[in-house]
Amino acid sequence: MSQHSEQIPWQATALRRRVVFFAAIALLTGLATFWLGANLPSELGFLWKVLVVVPFAVLFLWLALGFMTAVAGIWVLNFGGQNRIASAPTSPLPQLQTRDTTAILLPIYNEDIAYVYAGLQSIYQSLEKTGQLQHFEFYILSDSDDASNWLREEAAWSALCRTVGSVDRIHYRRRKHRTKKKSGNVMDF
């Protein structure tokens, strides 16, 4: 059997979407680049035209990618029907290897504690429902500089651990020396 005939139905939808997506980007970029090249003054030499058109094409490609991402999102949300998501949510998840562990990092800085921890609890419980929770560790990386705020963070972390019944899977760390904001916090991790 050929590889194409063994495709799962959602793969055909995903492939079709990708082809249309990248073809539209190429078409937009090609038309804009052609238009610019055709409308440059003829007095410019070939080298100057290349020096103008090539960077324009690269930058326009980037703009076209962003534009088509928005258009594709709007299209799928409004006209996607049952194929709104190109994957099959009812299909079973593949079993992860026992040695596989993924760290889920949550860098925070003086944020709304109730909102942040509610989101983390939601992620935790969603992973628990999949039966794959043992493959995930959660790290709350705080850069909060307000003493009352980080004390509330620690209290909320303790309460969250009790609520979900996991002290060994959800970790809290607050940096004393903050550098490079949240990206620095993740880098220090």
**pLDDT single digits (tens) 114-159:** 888 888 889 888 888 888 788 888 888 888 777 788 788 888 888 8
Single residue among 83, 117, 133 that ends a domain in this structure: 83
Say whether both 110 and 180 belong to one domain: yes
Say whether both 75 and 128 belong to one domain: no
Domain encompassing residue 119: 102-188
**42, 2 in Cβ contact below 8 A?**
no
Single-letter amino acid, residue 158? S
Among 126, 120, 118, CA closest to 104 = 120
Which residue ranges in the chain fall short of pLDDT 50? Answer: 1-3
The whole-number pLDDT of residue 68 equals: 95
Say whether both 72 and 147 belong to one domain: no
* Coil, helix or strand at residue 79: helix
Say whether both 77 and 144 belong to one domain: no
Number of domains in the chain: 2
Number of neighbouring beta carbons within 10 Å of residue 147: 8
The whole-number pLDDT of residue 69 equals: 94
Contacts of residue 58, defined as CB under 8 A and 6 or more positions apart, other chains included, come to none
Among 81, 87, 65, 72, CA closest to 12 = 87
* Assigned domain for 94 exists: no
* Assigned domain for 89 exists: no
* Assigned domain for 88 exists: no
The whole-number pLDDT of residue 172 equals: 82
Say whether both 115 and 156 belong to one domain: yes
Say whether both 63 and 123 belong to one domain: no
Q: How far apart are the first and last CA of the chain?
A: 47
Say whether both 10 and 40 belong to one domain: yes
